[in-house]
Chains A and B, each alone.
Chain A
Amino acid sequence: MPKIILRSPDGNTHTVDARVGASVMETAVKHGVPGIVAECGGALSCATCHVYVSDSCLERAGAAEDFEDEMLDDATSERRPNSRLSCQIRMSDELDGLEVEIAPEQ
């Protein structure tokens, strides 16, 4: 199982096992990782699962597609070049060890 390392706004780091095919958001919520709200459950409708992908993983995680890109413009926390909505990052074996920081405000 690929692992995800999430840094929560409270400063704690959580390492969780993800199923291949599950999104980063789903995995974090299922395990009760604090900081990801994910109001819409992954429907790309709320921008409350905003994360910053660590530089070393950026290329592997890929870039936001159009709709996600527009939603990110209106996210509550500052948008950065490494901003993604975590519901749109699907886990694969290639993404094992993915490191993300959860945006402070959702």
Chain B
Amino acid sequence: MDTVTTETETGTLIVGAGEAGLGIAVALRNAGYTAPVTITGLEADPPYQRPPLSKEFLAGEMDEENLLLRADDFYQDKDLRLLTNAHIEDIVLDEDSAGGTATTSAGHAIHFDGLALATGASPRRLPVPGGDLDGVCYLRDIPDARRLRTLLPGATRVVVVGGGYIGLEAAAVARGRGLDVTVVETFDRLLQRVAAPPISEFFRTAHEKRGAKVLLGASVTALRGSAGSVSGVELSDGMVLPADLVIIGIGVEPRIELAQKLGLDCGRGIIVDDAARTSNPAIVAAGDCTMQPHPLYPTESICLESVQNAADQAKVAAASLMDGPRPERAVPWFWSNQADIRLQIAGLSMGFDDYVIRGEPGTEQFTVLYYRDGRLIAADAVNNPHDFMAVKRALAKGATIDPTDAHNTGLPLKTLIREI
């Protein structure tokens, strides 16, 4: 039924209850915004941390309650109205103000004065026959992780499709349980999209050393099943890998449907400027759903799918909603935990034209520093927190680290930082 059953009024409507959506709400309150704030989320759970879903939570080392970003009474204390299980189907903007009316699929109308989009991203689906068999899992939200956690104890042979961070983290957890694990990656190296060859090679060796198999340059053509459950993964060369559990981690697609309905400029994500404003300057967007100017090379547009970006861009979006000064942007950083390996990444390595390896990858403690036109742009630090922190500091103040000395582990990186 299309009948509107209820109507409410709010100051700011935030569509999306992930890290970015919550971050905008918190930043608005911290900046003294007093009007009502409504956050709507598609999911049943209040805002929670996604990163542990493929790490500690999946490994059973963390429970659901600990995933939640805020306690129930926080929302009350801050006067934030949280609507879970709420799908905003349509938004009509007022002609003469920044306000409008959003309608949920349940027919609930929300009149707002200001709008923020934090709609996140959905996991990319594997477009092959057999994708809906039992035992085929994705890993993006709590229900996905809960399901995987239930299936892992009964599984024996696990195939992970996708050698990116999510796939490798899940593979490490499954292997940690002693299961037979094979990672299948289309490209000729792991983490192809995000890391330099030495890092890719390191992780291949590290996973193999821990007992997983890694198949590179292999693409999946079908998932085979028997009695409705997955039984194997068919590759383009005809090989079939037996499997009773298939975990698919092949990236995400920003959710841009609502932005498109609103006529906002979109690329892969919702296009925003460095103040998190969309092509309609009254509407802001933050987090995984956005595409923004590269912090060092503003003519390039990038999608940054990370907690750090969501939290940081949320603060910027809130400041824009209040017409306040734009907060300083933080250096992008990321992390991945795989078995006992901690990878910490500072900066954005995309577009690098040179790199320096610092330390010996075989020791499982080393760093790769990335350069572009002779300037430090990023580092991947493996079990090397001092290097990570030094690079993060250097990038934060726009400094660099001389590539000629960077390989020398006898010199602490922080002593090599110099102004450009």
With contacts A19-B65, A21-B63, A70-B385 known, is A40 near B77, CB below 8 A? Answer: no
With contacts A31-B74, A32-B74, A41-B307 known, is A71 near B389, CB below 8 A? Answer: yes
Size range of the chain A interface in the assembly:
20 to 34
A40:B70 contact, CB within 8 angstroms: no
A29:B70 contact, CB within 8 angstroms: yes
User: In this assembly, does B165 line the interface, its C-beta being within 8 Å of a C-beta of chain A?
Assistant: no
With contacts A41-B49, A74-B385 known, is A30 near B335, CB below 8 A? Answer: no
Enumerate B370-391 residues with CB–CB distance to A below 8 Å.
383, 385-386, 388-390
- Residues from chain A with Cβ under 8 Å of B383 in the complex: 67
The smallest beta-carbon distance between B19 and chain A, in angstroms, is: 9
User: In this assembly, does B51 line the interface, its C-beta being within 8 Å of a C-beta of chain A?
Assistant: yes
- Residues from chain B with Cβ under 8 Å of A74 in the complex: 385-386, 389-390, 393, 414
Contact with B along A20-52 (1 / 0, CB 8 A): 011000100111100000011111111100000
- Residues from chain B with Cβ under 8 Å of A31 in the complex: 71, 73-74
User: In this assembly, does A55 line the interface, its C-beta being within 8 Å of a C-beta of chain B?
Assistant: no
- Residues from chain B with Cβ under 8 Å of A40 in the complex: 307-308, 335
With contacts A26-B66, A45-B333, A74-B386 known, is A32 near B77, CB below 8 A? Answer: yes
- Residues from chain B with Cβ under 8 Å of A22 in the complex: 65-66
The smallest beta-carbon distance between A6 and chain B, in angstroms, is: 15
User: In this assembly, does B35 line the interface, its C-beta being within 8 Å of a C-beta of chain A?
Assistant: no
Interface centre among A32, A43, A45, A47, by most B CB within 10 Å?
Answer: A45
The smallest beta-carbon distance between A57 and chain B, in angstroms, is: 22
A41:B51 contact, CB within 8 angstroms: yes
User: In this assembly, does B296 line the interface, its C-beta being within 8 Å of a C-beta of chain A?
Assistant: no
- Residues from chain B with Cβ under 8 Å of A32 in the complex: 70, 74, 77-78
- Residues from chain A with Cβ under 8 Å of B358 in the complex: none
Q: Tell me whether chain A's interface is mostly helix, strand or loop, or mixed.
A: loop
With contacts A71-B389, A74-B386 known, is A45 near B344, CB below 8 A? Answer: yes
With contacts A40-B307, A45-B344 known, is A73 near B74, CB below 8 A? Answer: no
A74 to B78, CA, bound (A): 33
Size range of the chain B interface in the assembly:
20 to 34
- Residues from chain B with Cβ under 8 Å of A67 in the complex: 342, 383, 385
B385:A43 contact, CB within 8 angstroms: no
**Across the two chains, which residue of chain B brings its CB closest to A73?**
B386
The smallest beta-carbon distance between A105 and chain B, in angstroms, is: 13
Contact with B along A52-91 (1 / 0, CB 8 A): 0000000000000001001101100000000000000000
**Across the two chains, which residue of chain A brings its CB closest to B308?**
A39
A30 to B51, CA, bound (A): 17
Give how many A-B residue pairs fall within 8 Å (CB-CB): 58
- Residues from chain A with Cβ under 8 Å of B349 in the complex: none
Q: Contact partner of B386 among A41, A43, A70, CB < 8 A?
A: A70
Q: Contact partner of A44 among B68, B70, B342, B386, CB < 8 A?
A: B342
- Residues from chain B with Cβ under 8 Å of A70 in the complex: 385-386
User: In this assembly, does B311 line the interface, its C-beta being within 8 Å of a C-beta of chain A?
Assistant: yes
The smallest beta-carbon distance between A55 and chain B, in angstroms, is: 27
With contacts A21-B66, A30-B68, A30-B70 known, is A43 near B389, CB below 8 A? Answer: no
The smallest beta-carbon distance between A73 and chain B, in angstroms, is: 7
With contacts A21-B66, A29-B69, A39-B308 known, is A47 near B342, CB below 8 A? Answer: no
Contact with A along B57-86 (1 / 0, CB 8 A): 000000101101111011001100000000
**Across the two chains, which residue of chain A brings its CB closest to B390?**
A74
Interface centre among A21, A46, A73, by most B CB within 10 Å?
Answer: A46
**Across the two chains, which residue of chain A brings its CB closest to B48?**
A41
**Across the two chains, which residue of chain B brings its CB closest to A44?**
B342
**Across the two chains, which residue of chain A brings its CB closest to B384?**
A70
**Across the two chains, which residue of chain A brings its CB closest to B334?**
A45
Interface centre among A32, A41, A71, by most B CB within 10 Å?
Answer: A41
User: In this assembly, does B320 line the interface, its C-beta being within 8 Å of a C-beta of chain A?
Assistant: no
User: In this assembly, does B290 line the interface, its C-beta being within 8 Å of a C-beta of chain A?
Assistant: no
Given contacts A19-B66, A41-B51, A41-B52, list 7 more A-B pairs with CB under 8 A.
A22-B65, A30-B68, A43-B337, A45-B335, A70-B385, A70-B386, A73-B386
Listed by A's residue number, 25 A-B pairs whose Cβ atoms lie within 8 Å are A21-B63, A21-B66, A22-B65, A26-B66, A30-B71, A30-B74, A31-B71, A31-B73, A31-B74, A32-B70, A32-B78, A39-B308, A41-B51, A42-B52, A43-B51, A44-B342, A45-B342, A45-B388, A46-B333, A67-B342, A67-B385, A70-B386, A73-B386, A74-B389, A74-B393
Q: What 9 A-B pairs come out closest when comparing CB atoms?
A: A74-B389, A30-B71, A45-B335, A70-B385, A41-B49, A71-B385, A43-B335, A32-B74, A30-B70
